[in-house]
């Protein structure tokens, strides 16, 4: 096992080869904000909130720590004027969608983001993809997926799969930072297979379907 | 046709082919490039064939349908050899007259180029102003080649570079030659192709891939399409040579799904190259094996980004992935994959056959060779142009392009499409050079040059380009998906006269964050056009704020 020594926020940190900067920081208890990151899922690098400043061989660059591999002697700064500015603007952009997301509110306080800086958008999904990736990687059901691209990208439950798989799972509701996953599911259910949840229970003699959880997302692993 | 087993067999075949062709026999080449095709050059070609059949001219005259000649503005284009007599805006009704004149060795005066100012005529290609200032090393063969016939490519010396590489050079020597030629990537970055090849070659994995990036999606760029459709074997030859140097066993041609003619030509080229033994096992008896597959996109611009393109070839959605390990080391299915643009590959055969020294004698100090440029916008002569690197923009715009349309004044020159930049008219003497143009804020990009006249609203230009990117982004990362959307909203507001105080500062913040935080080059450079406009045209932007915030009555 190769041990790599790097510096994070002035502290000498030991990490294993192949680890990411985020993992190395977390194991030392150094906080880096994340949104699309989940320990059970492959790194996505989509929300960009975990961006840090890295100095290597005299070059300073900005990298996403959830993907960037640790390397010998690099100097990582988890906060700087520029890093904070990036996070501030990103949070402001996301708050145009979900101004009441507890996670975003917390980050907005930390980085001085103005929740009203950008015009409000109709959808409160921030397209972090946690639900999509959780369903794919952990549950391997693919009941929810991304559709369309660019600014039109959204998540969508696939009715044919969702009616079979979701009634006794719904684990994505809890990891969604904005409760949009739950809303999208309920809409799909109401439109495509209303009332069929009960039927499925009867047939399979399975335990009671999960109750819809109150809209209060649990914090994502930090 | 049996497989060519060796270089000697290929050269013998070429000699026989040329012996059968009489250079004095007239040939009429009808352009079937995208623009001419749009002006129904197919009807012109059909008329030529019909007339030749009626007059039973089989042995006396050849009719050839070819790829793009370049002078799109004056299509349908017809070139008659010998003599390279150029006829413009040819209609099916002109056909009998052209045939009659050609058989008699005469020229149809009314169809040749006429100078709009002086009325002076230019008959031969070397005299037509649009062509005479060019150095057409890559696209010059297009009028001589029917892309459906590999024989035509052999007849212009095709695959001689491959023969030389396979029979007289080691892979290391081929690589050294390309490095020495200082061939820089034509897709946008200008990264040295040789260094990229070397990285893939030196990567430890044995399985390696080479890829042609034919996913031309930059707005106002249409030269790769012309090359790949008009002369597919040239690109294929470059790819095979590259694969030999790199040690790749398999190649991909990645292109757009929406160009049926291109698909037809590339499929035919791959089939014919396989039939002749230029693809497959033991190519020309050298022991080198290589195969190539055609692959299509799913229709968004970001598919052309290297890591997204490779995801697409794997069969996944074309989403870029963070490239802290380069695709030349870790690409398709985690194997080292070397990706170059169509034009970069097209340069390879001539570098090998004529040598690096010859290649470096063309161009500017740090940018060698020629560059294909798509000329469009408010220009008199739109089309595809090829000039040596270092050529002043003035030559491109005025000598070749004929200046600004309708006698108007030039306001700005835009390079590089939606991720490029605009420079004002007074920088017209800047040379066409990767580094120089980047410094000015209008990187060459893939080579789309857009001319803008005095009536152009620069805010509308920025809005238009941003609108394009918003629709072509994959939407995976926040700064690109959300940041560009916000920039578009602000720009739309400005064009509608609803600019607010603080809008420009907001745009500057968005440009900065989107530029540093986005995952791939699409987002990172999305603010570049705006940045260049803030550099050169800021008062125009400021005036929008003042006028709408100060007095809403002027609107």
pLDDT tens sequence across B201-255: 999 999 999 999 999 888 789 999 999 999 999 999 999 999 999 999 999 999 9
The per-residue b/e assignment along B74-105, b for 16 or more CB within 10 angstroms, e otherwise, is bbbbbbbbeebbbbbebebebbeebbebbeee
Does the distance separating the beta carbons of A94 and B486 come in below 8 Å? no
- Are the C-beta atoms of B368 and B362 separated by less than 8 Å? yes
Write the CA distances from A182 to A166, A173, B299, integer angstroms. 11, 5, 31
Per-residue confidence (pLDDT) for residue B145, from 0 to 100: 97
- On whether any CB of chain B is under 8 Å from the CB of A120, the answer is no
Cβ pair A90:B478 closer than 8 A:
yes
Same CATH topology for B158-360 and B458-554? no
Helix B503-517 with B528-536: angle, nearest 10 deg: 140
CATH 3.90.850.10 correct for B370-453: no
Closest chain A C-alpha to B514 CA, distance in angstroms: 9
**Whole-number mean pLDDT of chain A?**
89
Enter the tokens of residue B530.
Answer: 């705006």
Instruction: Give residue A212's pLDDT.
Output: 54
Domain count, chain A: 3
Residue B192 contacts residue B184 (beta carbons within 8 Å):
yes
pLDDT per residue over B481-530, tens digit each?
999 999 999 999 999 988 999 999 999 999 999 999 999 989 999 999 99
Asked: is B158-360 a CATH 3.40.50.11540 domain? The reply is: yes
Instruction: Answer yes or no: do A69 and A85 share one domain.
Output: no
3-state secondary structure B122-170: ECEHHHCHHHHCCCCCCCCCHHHCCCCCHHHHHHCCCCHHHHHHHHHCC
Nearest C-alpha of chain A: how many angstroms from B516?
Answer: 7
Residue A185 covered by a domain: yes
ipTM: 0.89
Distance between CA B506 and CA B513 in Å, rounded?
A: 11
**Separation CA B392–CA B388 (nearest Å):** 10
Tokens of B341: 């643009």
> Which structure tokens are listed for B206?
């044995």
Domain spans, chain B? 25-129, 158-360, 370-453, 458-554
Top-level CATH class of B25-129? Answer: alpha beta
Inspect the interface and report whether the beta carbons of B474 and A68 lie closer than 8 Å.
no
What's the pLDDT band for A201 if we cut at 50, 70, 90?
low
Chain B residues within an 8 Å CB radius of A93: 478-479, 482-483, 486
CA of A122 to nearest chain B CA: how many angstroms apart? 13
Coil/strand/helix, residue B546: helix
CATH architecture of B458-554: Up-down Bundle (1.20)
Residue A82 contacts B, CB cutoff 8 Å: yes
Residues of chain A above pLDDT 90, percent: 82
pLDDT of A1? 62
Chain segment B399-456, per-residue pLDDT in tens: 999 999 999 999 999 998 888 999 999 999 999 999 999 999 999 988 999 999 999 9
Indicate yes or no: CB of B519 within 8 angstroms of CB of A46: yes
Give the pLDDT of residue B321. Answer: 81
B189 band by pLDDT with thresholds 50, 70 and 90 = confident
Q: What distance in Å separates the CA atoms of residue B11 and residue B17, rounded to the nearest whole number?
A: 10
Kindly provide the b/e burial profile for residues B241-280, where b requires at least 16 CB atoms within 10 angstroms of the residue's own CB: bbbbbbbbebbbbbbbeebebbbebbebbbebbeebbbbe
DSSP B334: G
Of B325, B473, B478, the CB nearest to A149: B473
Q: Is A83:A168 a contact under the CB 8 Å cutoff?
A: no
- pLDDT at position B300: 82
CB B507 within 8 A of CB A139: no
Of residues A211 and B474, more confidently modeled: B474
The dihedral formed by the CA atoms of A202, A204, A210 and A212, expressed in degrees to the nearest 10: -60
> Are B74 and B89 contacting, i.e. CB atoms less than 8 angstroms apart?
yes
Flag whether A213 is in a domain. no
Give the closest of A90, A146, A150 to B513, CB-based: A90
């Amino acid at each position: 096992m190769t041990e790599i020594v790097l510096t994070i926020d002035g502290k000498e940190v030991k990490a294993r080869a192949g680890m990411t900067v985020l993992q190395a920081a977390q194991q030392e208890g150094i906080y880096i904000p994340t949104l699309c990151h989940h320990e059970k899922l492959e790194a996505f690098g989509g929300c960009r909130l975990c961006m840090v400043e890295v100095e290597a061989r005299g070059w300073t660059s900005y990298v996403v720590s959830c993907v960037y591999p640790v390397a010998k002697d690099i100097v990582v700064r988890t906060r700087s004027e520029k890093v904070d500015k990036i996070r501030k603007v990103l949070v402001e952009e996301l708050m145009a969608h979900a101004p009441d997301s507890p996670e975003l509110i917390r980050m907005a306080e930390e980085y001085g983001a103005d929740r009203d800086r950008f015009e409000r958008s109709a959808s409160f999904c921030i397209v972090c993809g946690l639900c999509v990736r959780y369903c794919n990687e952990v549950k391997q059901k693919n009941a929810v997926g991304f559709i369309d691209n660019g600014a039109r990208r959204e998540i969508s439950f696939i009715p044919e799969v969702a009616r079979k798989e979701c009634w006794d799972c719904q684990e994505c509701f809890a990891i969604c930072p904005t409760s949009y996953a739950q809303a999208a599911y309920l809409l799909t259910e109401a439109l495509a297979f209303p009332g069929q949840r009960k039927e499925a229970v009867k047939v399979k003699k399975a335990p009671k379907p999960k109750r819809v959880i109150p809209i209060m997302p649990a914090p994502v692993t930090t | 046709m049996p497989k060519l087993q060796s270089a000697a067999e290929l050269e013998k075949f070429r000699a026989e082919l040329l012996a059968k062709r009489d250079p004095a026999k007239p040939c009429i080449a009808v352009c079937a490039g995208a623009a001419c095709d749009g002006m129904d050059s197919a009807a012109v070609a059909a008329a030529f064939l019909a007339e030749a059949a009626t007059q039973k001219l089989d042995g006396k005259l050849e009719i050839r349908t070819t790829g793009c000649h370049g002078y799109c503005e004056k299509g349908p284009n017809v070139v008659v050899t010998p003599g390279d007599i150029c006829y413009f805006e040819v209609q099916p009704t002109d056909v009998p007259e052209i045939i009659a004149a050609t058989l008699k060795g005469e020229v149809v005066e009314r169809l040749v180029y006429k100078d709009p100012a002086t009325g002076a005529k230019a008959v031969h290609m070397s005299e037509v102003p649009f062509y005479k200032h060019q150095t057409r090393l890559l696209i010059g063969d297009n009028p001589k080649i029917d892309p459906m016939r590999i024989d035509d490519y052999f007849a212009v010396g095709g695959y001689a570079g491959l023969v030389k590489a396979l029979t007289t050079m080691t892979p290391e020597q081929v690589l050294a030659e390309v490095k020495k030629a200082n061939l820089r990537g034509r897709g946008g970055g200008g990264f040295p192709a040789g260094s990229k090849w070397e990285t893939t070659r030196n990567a430890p994995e044995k399985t390696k891939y080479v890829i042609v990036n034919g996913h031309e999606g930059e707005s106002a760029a249409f030269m790769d399409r012309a090359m790949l459709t008009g002369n597919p074997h040239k690109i294929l030859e470059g790819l095979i040579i590259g694969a030999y140097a790199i040690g790749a066993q398999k190649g991909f041609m990645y292109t757009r799904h929406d160009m049926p003619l291109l698909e037809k030509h590339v499929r035919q080229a791959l089939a014919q190259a396989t039939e002749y033994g230029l693809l497959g096992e033991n190519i020309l008896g050298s022991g080198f094996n290589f195969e190539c597959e055609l692959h299509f996109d799913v229709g968004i611009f970001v598919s052309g980004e290297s890591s997204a393109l490779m995801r697409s070839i794997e069969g996944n959605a074309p989403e870029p992935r963070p490239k802290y390990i380069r695709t030349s080391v870790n690409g398709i299915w985690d194997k080292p994959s070397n990706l170059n643009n169509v034009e970069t590959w097209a340069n390879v055969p001539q570098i090998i056959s004529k040598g690096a020294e010859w290649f470096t004698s063309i161009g500017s100090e740090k940018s060698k060779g020629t560059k294909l440029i798509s000329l469009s916008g408010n220009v008199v002569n739109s089309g595809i142009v090829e000039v040596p690197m270092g050529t002043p923009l003035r030559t491109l715009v005025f000598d070749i392009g004929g200046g600004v349309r309708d006698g108007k004044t030039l306001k700005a020159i835009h390079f590089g499409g939606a991720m490029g930049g605009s420079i004002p008219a007074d920088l017209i003497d800047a040379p066409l050079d990767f580094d120089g143009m980047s410094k000015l804020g209008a990187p060459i990009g893939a080579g789309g040059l857009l001319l803008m006249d005095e009536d152009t609203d620069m805010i509308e230009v920025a809005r238009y380009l941003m609108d394009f990117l918003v629709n072509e982004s994959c939407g995976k990362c926040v700064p690109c998906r959300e940041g560009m959307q916000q920039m578009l909203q602000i720009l739309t507001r400005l064009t509608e006269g609803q600019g607010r105080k603080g809008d420009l500062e907001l745009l500057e913040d968005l440009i900065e964050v989107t530029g540093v935080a986005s995952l791939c080059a699409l987002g990172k450079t999305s603010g570049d056009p705006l940045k260049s406009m803030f550099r050169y045209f800021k008062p125009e932007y400021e005036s929008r704020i003042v006028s709408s915030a100060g007095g809403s009555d002027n609107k």
